[in-house]
Copies of this chain bind each other. A is one copy, B any other.
């Protein structure tokens, strides 16, 4: 990760469909450079995919709510997670700190429909209790890019390749040199 990487991510986040060639033109670098950077970002796991972003709202699910689930002592999280995964309205779920708790993001067609979704979610004997909060407005839309920028300047900007090993033992490199 260096400055060029972040600029690249910036550009592709703003205009994902431009393609490698166009990106290289805009950034004033060679096409091969953009290509190799992109490959490396993917290989490093920084870019996890290029899947389309879908809007639950546009799909008819404008209501978002956060559920906190209390899991019965002794019950595995796994089974609850499996149960949650089967409910399409559950967009995301985590285990969290606390007494066997889980957290889930769900969506619904309306406030009334939310009841149906909650009932679906709670239909698991391992769930002891739950609390629901409804999301009213998305004040900060989901984003990661600022973090990428911060990861540079912020914490010293680890070079993409750990190319500065303090004590590199001379590995008798290639006793039989090429040609």
- Residue numbers of A with Cβ under 8 A of B are 1, 9, 12-14, 16-17, 44-61, 64, 66, 77-78, 80-81, 84-85, 88-98, 101-104, 107, 109, 133-151, 154-155, 158
Quick check: A147 and B56 within 8 Å, CB to CB? yes
For A135, give the chain B residue with the smallest CB separation. B94
Chain B residues with CB under 8 A of A150: 88-89
For A60, give the chain B residue with the smallest CB separation. B151
Q: Which of B16, B97, B142 contacts A133 (CB 8 A)?
A: B97
Chain B residues with CB under 8 A of A48: 52-55, 58
Q: With contacts A50-B53, A59-B144, A88-B146 known, is A135 near B95, CB below 8 A?
A: yes
Quick check: B52 and A9 within 8 Å, CB to CB? yes
Q: With contacts A103-B135, A135-B96, A147-B56 known, is A140 near B81, CB below 8 A?
A: yes
Q: Which of B17, B59, B136 contacts A97 (CB 8 A)?
A: B136
* Secondary structure call for the A interface: mixed
Q: With contacts A92-B142, A136-B95 known, is A47 near B51, CB below 8 A?
A: no
Chain B residues with CB under 8 A of A66: 96, 103
In the assembled complex, the CB of A46 is this many whole angstroms from the nearest CB of chain B, namely: 4
Quick check: A13 and B52 within 8 Å, CB to CB? yes
Q: Which of B9, B55, B140, B151 contacts A104 (CB 8 A)?
A: B140
Q: How far is the CA of A96 from the CA of B140 in the complex (A)?
A: 13
Q: How far is the CA of A139 from the CA of B52 in the complex (A)?
A: 22
Q: How far is the CA of A98 from the CA of B65 in the complex (A)?
A: 12
Quick check: A52 and B54 within 8 Å, CB to CB? no
Q: Which of B54, B135, B140, B147 contacts A148 (CB 8 A)?
A: B54
Q: How far is the CA of A48 from the CA of B1 in the complex (A)?
A: 27
